[in-house]
């Protein structure tokens, strides 16, 4: 009995100190940025295992303008907005598209990139000419993306959801689905960087199907941070730094 009491007291003490341990692991004043690393060239893991991509460079540049250290927290895409709302991160930099539904949950910066959508199918197959083609077919998406939302609102589509974009593409390659619906810039990068995907898949349709404006997201209570982020983006644009980042990561895309 005494051992159970001692164990219970130890757990209470540990629980009390856990927030302190987490706080000491984060430098005071650091900007905690949530991201998701399966979205090249926006965010991905490089050969050394570190985070790289347009969003990573952009967040670092914004943090530098704010004179704050930046810490990246890599998590599942569908966990980003809940983590922001819960205060576990201060900002999202993950190629997050600005939509009416997301605007109910977070403030967004001014757009800094306009992307497009892509439908990816196996080589040798015709693919779609419009979005009506989706109905009655098995289509993979990354969970909680705008492509997922679009197909859900359409109805009549057998949606297969994955946590990572690469998994959605590989399912098509392996014949588990008819097509993948995803960001066009990222789709093209996957097909270039992954030999097996590039050999077996093709972009069958590319264009503006969903909203393509991307922004950095902050909590609704952080209006002051939003103003500072927007000012930082304006400064980076005026200096030509944003154009340099776009050229570095997207080339002529």
The predicted pLDDT at position 248 comes to 97
Q: Write the pLDDT tens digit of every residue in 57-85.
A: 999 999 999 999 999 999 999 999 999 99
Q: What is the C-alpha separation between 253 and 241, in angstroms, rounded? A: 17
pLDDT the model gives residue 212:
78
Edge-to-edge order in the sheet of strand 70-74: 70-74, 31-35, 91-92, 217-218, 107-108
Distance (Å, rounded) from C-alpha 118 to C-alpha 126? 14
Q: What percent of the chain has pLDDT over 70?
A: 89
Higher pLDDT residue, 148 or 115? 148
Q: Report how far residue 172's alpha carbon sits from residue 161's, in angstroms, rounded to the nearest whole number.
A: 12
pLDDT at 90 over 60: yes
pLDDT at residue 4, as a whole number: 42
Domains and CATH numbers, the chain: 28-113+213-250 (3.40.190.10), 116-207 (3.40.190.10)
Is the pLDDT higher at 129 or at 151? 151
Which has the minimum average pLDDT: 25-34, 39-48, 125-134, 162-171?
25-34
Q: Are 232 and 66 in contact (CB under 8 A)?
A: yes
pTM of the model: 0.87
pLDDT score for 252: 58
User: Which residues, other chains included, contact 253 with Cβ-Cβ below 8 Å and sequence gap of 6+?
Assistant: 185, 188
190 contacts 197 by C-beta, under 8 angstroms:
yes
In the chain, the percentage of residues whose pLDDT exceeds 90 is 84
pLDDT digits (tens, 9 = 90+) for 194-245: 999 999 999 999 999 996 799 999 999 999 999 999 999 999 999 999 999 9
Give yes or no for residue 21 having a pLDDT over 70. Answer: no
For residue 197, the model assigns a pLDDT of 98
Per-residue pLDDT, averaged over 43-57, amounts to 98
Name the average pLDDT for the chain.
90
pLDDT of residue 28: 74
Compute the average pLDDT of residues 38-42.
97
Give the pLDDT confidence score for residue 19 in this predicted structure: 32
> What percent of the chain is helix, strand and coil (3-state, nearest 5)?
45, 20, 35
14 has a pLDDT exceeding 60? no
Cα gap 179→46, rounded to integer Å: 27
For residue 181, CA distances in Å to 167, 186, 200 come to 12, 11, 16
């Amino acid at each position: 009995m005494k051992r159970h009491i001692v164990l219970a007291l130890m757990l209470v003490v540990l629980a009390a100190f856990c927030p302190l341990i987490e706080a000491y692991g984060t430098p005071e004043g650091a900007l905690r940025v949530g991201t998701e690393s399966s979205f090249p060239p926006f965010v991905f893991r490089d050969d050394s295992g570190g985070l790289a991509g347009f969003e990573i460079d952009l967040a670092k540049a914004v943090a530098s303008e704010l004179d704050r250290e930046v810490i990246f927290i890599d998590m599942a895409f569908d966990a980003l907005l809940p983590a922001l709302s819960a205060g576990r991160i201060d900002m999202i930099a993950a190629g997050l598209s600005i939509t009416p539904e997301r605007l109910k949950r977070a403030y967004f910066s001014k757009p800094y990139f306009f992307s497009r959508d892509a439908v990816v199918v196996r080589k040798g197959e015709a693919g779609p000419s419009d979005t009506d083609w989706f109905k009655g077919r098995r289509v993979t998406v990354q969970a909680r993306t705008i492509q997922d939302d679009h197909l859900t609102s359409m109805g009549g589509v057998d949606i297969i959801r994955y946590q990572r974009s690469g998994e959605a593409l590989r399912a098509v390659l392996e014949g588990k689905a008819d097509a993948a619906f995803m960001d066009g810039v990222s789709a093209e990068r996957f097909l270039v960087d992954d030999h097996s995907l590039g050999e077996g898949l093709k972009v069958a349709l590319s264009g503006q199907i969903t909203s393509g404006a991307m922004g950095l997201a902050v909590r609704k209570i952080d209006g002051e941070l939003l103003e500072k982020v927007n000012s930082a983006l304006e400064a980076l644009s005026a200096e030509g730094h944003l154009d340099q980042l776009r050229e570095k990561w997207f080339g002529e895309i």
